[in-house]
Amino acid sequence: MTNRPWWHDATGYALYLRSFADGTGDGVGDLPGVIDHLDHLEYLGIDLLWISPFYRSPMVDGGYDVTDHTEIDPTYGTMADFKALIRQAHARRIAVVIDLVANHTSAEHSWFQAARTSREDRFHDRYIWADPAPDGGPPNNWVSYFGGSAWTFEAAIGQYYLHLFLPEQPDLNWRNPAVRQMFDDIIEFWLDLGVDGFRIDVAQGLVKDRLLRSNPVLHVLRPAADRIEQWRAFEHRHDVLQPETIDIFRRWKAICHRYDAVLIGEVSVGDANAFAFAMDSGGLDIGMWLEVMHSEWDADALRSVLSGPIERKGDAGMVGWLGSSLDEPRAVTRFGGGEVGRRRALALATLLAFLPGTPFLYQGEELGLEQGEVCDDNRVDPVGIDAASGRDGCRTPMPWTNGPMHGFTTANETWLPFAADAGTMSVQSQRRNHRSQLARYRCLLAARRAQLVDADPTVEWLDFEEVGLIGFRRGVLNVIVNTTNEVVEIGIHGQIVFDSFGLLDRRVGLPSSPGVVRARIEGSQAIVFRGV
Ligand code: BGC
């Protein structure tokens, strides 16, 4: 027995509630739907479930615009459903982590409704307001993650308010003690109901520069620059990662640890040094590093994006690894789509599963789902000027069965259409096939669980003569991925414990003949072996 916290070896699952399963027959995923399918998570080998927001919301940003942080939105169920979910997940030894949307509220939140009426209102200072610049324009050059200025003018009181996302998501003022107190209360409310932790949304963004100084400009913007280019045109010195943010993490972590709960933060920064700063001084138990989702399928690019956060952050917290998410195109599609995309996505998942830290599968990843095509008439995401840059494609509903509406709902329509591959990729058909993507993910997670107990946390990257291989060693464990399309022959010593193609062990006769073996690693294949 060790004294490590329970989340130390956990495998996470990122569940996008609207698209997981509909238990009430209205075409939208909900809490009863999650309860109905907990067996899937148990079968897969998940121990930590992170659920996207289910709070009262006008749903302008899919629920990341909250009007009441302690109420369940009727679209998603009731408090009784939530309690049942906690009970039933715990009965299956699955921890439940909920989203803490703390950077902003909905503009319809009662606080903001009051705050916008007058500069003297007692809620005014719970948001970030500033007078116009001398030319009447926004107070500084900050841009929204969703594109355009981060400021909207409130004519009634002659001031601008800040929103790092939509104008319907005004940013809270984390320098105001009343805001801190309110979130302490929200956290305790859910911990008392039995949740096992929080995933802080936009953790890097909470506190802003006291003087609201403009950010240094890195590039001059093209007029047609999309939201990502706009964001990257600035050095985000003043709008994100202010040192006071770490104090908030520490404060929340102290509360969480009283309940043996985990504090996870979404740390959406492109740079490993900035990530290390957010992890500094033990602020977060787990920091989600999102840059893997921006890497090409290339051994050097992957090595740099995987090694950066581990090397820089030292001993502070753990890295949360995501190969796909609710906000980014799915890995299968990013890596070329079809069978090749699926093999590459699984190989990436293998690297993430064996690196020190916590891997999070994004719902549907275990099925090898591709990005869905959502035509203009069906688009829901407020972000992106076209279907390609919006986030609907990674949020299409889960296909559970081969029956009507893929077992997702009893309604005739779903809130977003199914992806084109839903028919062939359902859970039902994959569970019947021991060579399916689902079977391989299950096997991967079982291997992680079996092999990583007490594994050496130190990662030693392997240097290969062969081009296109990426790999690392942790104690006796070795993980190697061939990113090329060609077979590569390498000498390995040891016993295979996971093979993403599930054939290698038979072909080379391992583990019965440990010793130097010339093993073929095919294009996009991942192998994990214990060295001798
Ligand atoms: C969430 C997004 C959301 C944004 C604003 C993100 O990090 O993952 O889906 O739109 O925060 O709350």
Ligand 1 closest atom vs CA 266: 7
CA nearest neighbour of 359 among 458, 441, 242, 464:
441
Ligand 1 closest atom vs CA 164: 5
Q: How far apart are CA 335 and CA 341, in angstroms?
A: 5
Ligand 1 closest atom vs CA 64: 12
Å from CA of 173 to ligand 1 middle: 18
Alpha carbons within 13 A on the beta-carbon side of 108: 13
Å from CA of 201 to ligand 1 middle: 6
Ligand 1 test: best mutation among 327, 328, 362, most atoms within 8 Å of CB?
A: 327
Burial (CB < 10 A; 0-12, 13-18, 19+), residue 514, is middle
Residue 266: active-site member: yes
Q: How far apart are CA 89 and CA 85, in angstroms?
A: 6
Å from CA of 443 to ligand 1 middle: 31
For 131, other C-beta atoms within 10 Å of its C-beta total 10
Ligand 1 test: best mutation among 59, 105, 202, 267, most atoms within 8 Å of CB?
A: 202
Q: Which residues line ligand 1 (CB under 6 A)?
A: 61, 64, 101, 165, 201-202, 266, 326-327
Task: For ligand 1, atom 4, name the residue with the nearest CA.
Answer: 64
Query: Are β-strands 68-72 and 55-56 bridged in parallel, bridged antiparallel, or unpaired?
Result: antiparallel
Contacts of 238 (CB under 8 A, 6+ apart): 140, 142, 208, 209, 211, 212, 213, 214, 215
- Which element (helix H / strand E) includes 99? strand 95-100
- Which element (helix H / strand E) includes 264? strand 262-267
Residue 201: active-site member: yes
For the packed helices 272-279 and 299-313, what is the interaxial angle rounded to 10 degrees? 30
∠ CA 332-41-43, rounded to 5°? 100
Ligand 1 test: best mutation among 69, 106, 165, most atoms within 8 Å of CB?
A: 165
Ligand 1 closest atom vs CA 327: 9
Cβ pair 528, 502 in contact under 8 A: no
Cβ pair 230, 146 in contact under 8 A: no
Q: How far apart are CA 121 and CA 40, in angstroms?
A: 49
CA nearest neighbour of 115 among 172, 66, 63:
172
Quote the tokens at residue 397: 């509903």
**pLDDT profile of the chain (532 residues), mean per 10:** 83 98 98 98 97 98 97 98 98 98 98 98 98 97 95 97 98 98 98 98 98 96 87 96 95 98 96 92 92 97 97 88 97 97 98 97 98 91 75 97 97 96 94 92 94 86 95 95 94 86 51 56 93 76
Å from CA of 227 to ligand 1 middle: 14
Q: How far apart are CA 334 and CA 371, in angstroms?
A: 9
Alpha carbons within 13 A on the beta-carbon side of 35: 17
Q: Write the DSSP assignment of 160-227 as a string of letters.
A: EEE-SS-TTSPBB-TTSHHHHHHHHHHHHHHHHTT--EEEETTGGGSS--TT-PPPPB-SPPPTT--H
Q: Quote the pLDDT of residue 385.
A: 63
Query: Are β-strands 318-322 and 286-289 bridged in parallel, bridged antiparallel, or unpaired?
Result: parallel
* Helix, coil or strand: residue 239: coil
Q: Quote the pLDDT of residue 4.
A: 86
pTM of the model: 0.96
CA nearest neighbour of 20 among 448, 377, 369, 376:
369
Q: How far apart are CA 169 and CA 61, in angstroms?
A: 8
Å from CA of 51 to ligand 1 middle: 13
Cβ pair 155, 146 in contact under 8 A: no
Å from CA of 305 to ligand 1 middle: 22
Burial (CB < 10 A; 0-12, 13-18, 19+), residue 491, is exposed
Q: Which of 196, 201, 327, 381 is catalytic?
A: 201
For the packed helices 437-451 and 338-354, what is the interaxial angle rounded to 10 degrees? 10
Q: Which of 99, 171, 266, 328 is catalytic?
A: 266
Strands (E), 46-91: 48-51, 55-56, 68-72
Task: For ligand 1, atom 8, name the residue with the nearest CA.
Answer: 327
Q: How far apart are CA 150 and CA 268, in angstroms?
A: 17
Ligand 1 closest atom vs CA 202: 7
Å from CA of 6 to ligand 1 middle: 27
Ligand 1 closest atom vs CA 104: 12
Quote the tokens at residue 340: 């090749």
Task: For ligand 1, atom 9, name the residue with the nearest CA.
Answer: 327
For 265: left if phi > 0, alpha if psi spans -120 to 50, otherwise beta; the answer is: beta
Å from CA of 380 to ligand 1 middle: 15
Ligand 1 closest atom vs CA 391: 9
Q: Write the DSSP assignment of 441-489 as a string of letters.
A: HHHHHHHHHHH-TT-----EEPP-SSTTEEEEEETTEEEEEE-SSS-EE
Ligand 1 test: best mutation among 19, 54, 61, 169, most atoms within 8 Å of CB?
A: 61
